[in-house]
Structure formats: C-alpha cells, structure tokens
Chains A and B, each alone.
Chain A
Amino acid sequence: MTPSTAPSIPWQLTLLEAASMLRARALSSVELLDSVLTRAAATEPSVKAWVVIDSETARTVARACDQELARGETRGPLHGIPVGIKDIYDVEGLPTRCGSASRQHAPAASEDSAMVRALRESGAIILGKTVTQEFAAGVVSAPARNPWDTDRIPGGSSGGTAAAIAAGSALTGLGSDTGGSIRIPASVCGVVGFKPTFGALSLRGVYPLSWSLDTAGPLARTVGDATLMYRVLRDGNGGSMPAVKSAALRVGIPRPHFFDRLQPGVAIAVQRAIEAIASAGIEVVDSPWQEAGKARATSFIINRVETGSVHIAELAERWDGYGEELRLRIEAATLVPARAYIRAHQARRVILRSCARVFDDYSIDAMITPATPGTAALASDLNVPFEDGSREDVSLSYTRLCMPFNLTGQPALSIPCGVDERGLPVGLQIAGRPGEDEALLSIGRRIEDILGFGVQYPDIPSRIDDRIG
C-alpha cells in the first residue's frame, strides 16, 4: 500500500474534500466526473467493479450542477458528487439485474429506490451500477477483483462498490449488509463500510435477500465520508462535521469467537490497532460475549432460510438463470426444518439481551474486533488459509465475525487498520449500541484519527495517464 499524500488528482479526494471544493468552486462537477471516468477507464479492465457506467447522463447532470453552483444554488450536501449504486437497488431507467442471468431481461426500473432518491435529491450524480454477488448472496462478487491485487476477490456482496471506491472510480457508494456484505468488502478492499442499525434506512426498491436482516448502508474512503452519506440517506441533511472530541471512551474486546482462528497478518494488525487505541487514552477492557458464536449460528439460519424463501418461486421458473452456488444454497434451505427457523427467531432477542448485558456490565461504548478472519482470498482458490494448514470456505470465513451484529441489529463499522505480510488491507470492526449510529460514527472517526492510516490507493496498472489539467 502506498502512503497517502495531499491529493493532486480529483478522483483521489475524499467525499468531504470534494464537496468542500465544489462548494468553494475550486473544482467543478465536470472536472471531478471526468477525473473519475478517466480513472475508471484505466482501472476497469482489471478491476471490473462496474456493471454499467452511464457517463452520458452523468455528464449532463454534472454540467447542470456546475450551472447551478454558478448561480449560487445547491441541491444538497452531495451536490456534484459521483456515486456508485450496488445493482440490487432500483435506479430509474436502469435494469436491476442483481448479478444474475435470471434477470438478464429485467426491465428498466420505473422509479428510484428510496436510498437512490435520497442521494439524487442531495445532489449526487448516479454514475452507474456496481457489481454484486448474485442477489447479494455471497462474498466473491465476480467478475469484480480486488484493486490491491487483481488476482484476489474484493469480498462481497457489495464488492463492486468497495472495489470502485478503492480503485478511485467512485468517491462513495451504496452497499447492503445482511451477513457482512458492506463490512466484508470494505475490510478486504481497504475502505470504510458502515452497517447502520437494522431498520434505520429504507429498503424500498431494494431486492431483498433476508428481510429480517437486510440493511442498507454506505461505503466510503473515510468515516467522515460515511457519516455524511449516512446522514443524507437517513434524512437528506449533511449537517456539520464537528472536530473529533477526546471525551472519555471505553471499548470492549470480546475475546471468545471474534479472535478465534485468525490469519496471523490480521491478528497482528488488529492487536497493533488495539494497542494504539489504548495508548491514545481510550480505555480498553476485555468484555467476553459468550453468546457470540450462537449469534452467528442464529443469524446464519435466518439468513439461509429467508434467502430460500425469497427465491424458491423464481428458481422454479428460471432455474437455468441461477448460478450453481446460489441454486445449491436455495435447495439446501428447503431442507431446513421450520422449527429451526422459528427457534432462531425465538433466540434473537435472548441473544440481543446477552450483548446488551455485556455493554452494561463492562460499561463499554463499543466492541472492537477484526472485521474478517483473513485478508483478500485468491479468486482461483475460494478458501481462507490459516497458519496451521487448515482452510475455511471463504463465505463461511468472511461472515463469521460480521454476522453476530446482523442478528442483534447493532450498528457496525469496518475501517482500515493495517496490512498483512502481502500488503493486503486488514479491517477493524467497531460495533455500537442500537440506534446510536451517530455515536458509533463519532467513535470511528476518533479511532481512524488515532490509527492514522489515512486514505491509500492501490497501484493498479493503468493504460491511460489519468492526470487531468
């Protein structure tokens, strides 16, 4: 990874930097868009993060944004910012194909999903649709690749959005998180991913995966950027971004489950991050959550059964359009006894209370864990290898540390915290109290400042000189 420097190229700007420069008219929307499009032209042959880039419409909107700014008008906090949309969200005029051949002939959506509408109304330029794992059910996100090593996967299922942000072909974008699908690709692509509290953001116009767990949310380059996106998605307002405060803070390390069976590079990077956090004056305490493994198991059962329920009728009609992995997942779901599904929903609040007790008993403001047990896996070998020679299926492995917070519905972030021995990004997961999304984002900004990791860009072989001006 290359240390960050003062950005000299518009595509390297953070969302907050770009928005500020646009408002000050130090940068035009067209210049920003052209820079991002040029970067996309250079990186897409190897990264393949996008399903479609609607550059013509984007340019028309960018020109309108510039004209409005010249008149002193602004649509909102994202005025003139190009964003990527995971291809399970309806975008008016574009088909929602969900990464599935079964929807190859899907008609163009007749209206925007609620989250896309919120972005558009705040001035964002909808640049196009990003690659998703088929129907958001998995972590590979083919054909997208990881910008840090294009032999490796970007994680998923919001892998296209994460890869686009990491590569520089989007400043920010939308993902969705049912079993870690925002935090996982954020972790392995070295960007920030935020899963808000379950139910905080509208899913209207989003193709469901598991209705009891699905959560809309943003990916971005910094926690500040994710905060702005979250506010826009929640109520359309960016609000002010006050300086990070150094108030007393206490974070918990839930050792059982979350620190079991990690790749050494992940364990070392996360341990160093914890030490840096403690050295900066944040109190760090062990806060065992004994039910974390059961939270994962329960989340898994609900996820799989509801995925089957969503898709079984379509599978009967269009079985040849479904990929083998998803088809098998749906078929296996038909064999799960209804009793297990009901029991999982009975267990949900029991487990939620157990996590709440940990927060209370240890007086913690957040839990800190690795986001994924391993860094980006090879696309040619979809397993996570461990030091003892064992291997774990990448889908099971990547979701292991994220799923507990899908079950409890707590807000959770993944932020970059280091790299492994290959230079691949490692993500730190920070989980807060339900409904206290802003508080968690504030903690995330403070930890991001402490870690000083900054925004870093992969060295992707470029075919085109992407400097402008």
Chain B
Amino acid sequence: MATENDRHNVMPDITSGESLISVQAGAYVIPPERLPQAIARYESMVAFIEELETLDIGTEAPAFVFDPSWEDR
C-alpha cells in the first residue's frame, strides 16, 4: 500500500523549453518583493550551469532513470 510520501515519486514533464518548475507546478509565483533574492540565489548557481556547458556530451541521451552500473559503458 502506498504511503503519503509515494505521491511525490513522479517524473516531471521535461518536454518544455521553459523553466521546468513553473511549467510543472503552475501554482507558485515568486512574490515580487522576493524576486531579487531568488535571482541572486539563482545567479550563484550559474557557475555550475556554465561548468556543465564545458562538458562534451555528444549525443548522449538523458539518464532520467539512472542505472549506476558500469557494465554497459
């Protein structure tokens, strides 16, 4: 029998090019007075996004269902 927590174990809709969270939830809008803080926090993450951009991923498919095995590499 599923517990209350299992309802969170769902995959997001990743088909949109828009911001993932706003597409999926649609219910929460950052209050204008909080937007500068949220943007500043996001900007602290940009270095990670940029670092990821430097990796050559070729035509690799996204591993949304991840198998950590090294067998099929």
Q: Which residues of A contact B (CB under 8 A)?
A: 90, 96, 109-111, 113, 197-199, 203-208, 211-212, 291, 293-294, 296-298, 300-301, 304-306, 308-310, 312-313, 315-317, 319, 328-353, 356, 408-410, 433-435
Closest B residue to A302 by CB, please name it.
B66
**Residue from B6, B9, B21, B57 in contact with A312 in the complex, judged by beta carbons closer than 8 Å:** B21
Interface residues in B, total, Cβ within 8 A: 53
Interface residues of B in 1-51 (CB under 8 A from A): 1, 3-6, 8-9, 11-12, 14, 16-25, 27-28, 30, 34, 37-39, 41-42, 44-45, 47-49, 51
A410 in contact with B39 given A111-B1, A316-B25, A345-B63 (CB within 8 Å)? no
CB distance from B50 to the nearest CB of A (A): 8
Closest A residue to B35 by CB, please name it.
A331
Q: Which residues of B contact A410 (CB under 8 A)?
A: 68
Label chain B's interface by main secondary structure: loop
Q: In the complex, are the beta carbons of B64 and A212 less than 8 A apart?
A: yes
A205 to B5, CA, bound (A): 6
Q: Which residues of B contact A113 (CB under 8 A)?
A: 3, 5
Q: In the complex, are the beta carbons of B64 and A297 less than 8 A apart?
A: no
Q: In the complex, are the beta carbons of A208 and B52 less than 8 A apart?
A: no
Q: Which residues of B contact A (CB under 8 A)?
A: 1, 3-6, 8-9, 11-12, 14, 16-25, 27-28, 30, 34, 37-39, 41-42, 44-45, 47-49, 51-58, 60-64, 66-70, 73
Closest B residue to A360 by CB, please name it.
B70
Most chain-B Cβ atoms within 10 A of its Cβ — which of A203, A205, A305, A332?
A: A332
Closest A residue to B23 by CB, please name it.
A338
Q: Which residues of A contact B67 (CB under 8 A)?
A: 199
Q: In the complex, are the beta carbons of B21 and A346 less than 8 A apart?
A: no
Label chain A's interface by main secondary structure: helix
Could you show 9 A-B contacts with beta carbons less than 8 Å apart? A113-B5, A206-B5, A294-B52, A300-B45, A301-B52, A305-B20, A337-B19, A338-B23, A345-B62
CB distance from B3 to the nearest CB of A (A): 5
Q: Which residues of A contact B53 (CB under 8 A)?
A: 343
CB distance from A303 to the nearest CB of B (A): 10
Q: In the complex, are the beta carbons of A353 and B23 less than 8 A apart?
A: no
A294 in contact with B66 given A109-B3, A312-B24 (CB within 8 Å)? no
Q: In the complex, are the beta carbons of B73 and A336 less than 8 A apart?
A: no
Most chain-A Cβ atoms within 10 A of its Cβ — which of B9, B53, B63?
A: B63
A109 to B28, CA, bound (A): 27
Closest A residue to B58 by CB, please name it.
A350
Q: In the complex, are the beta carbons of B60 and A346 less than 8 A apart?
A: yes
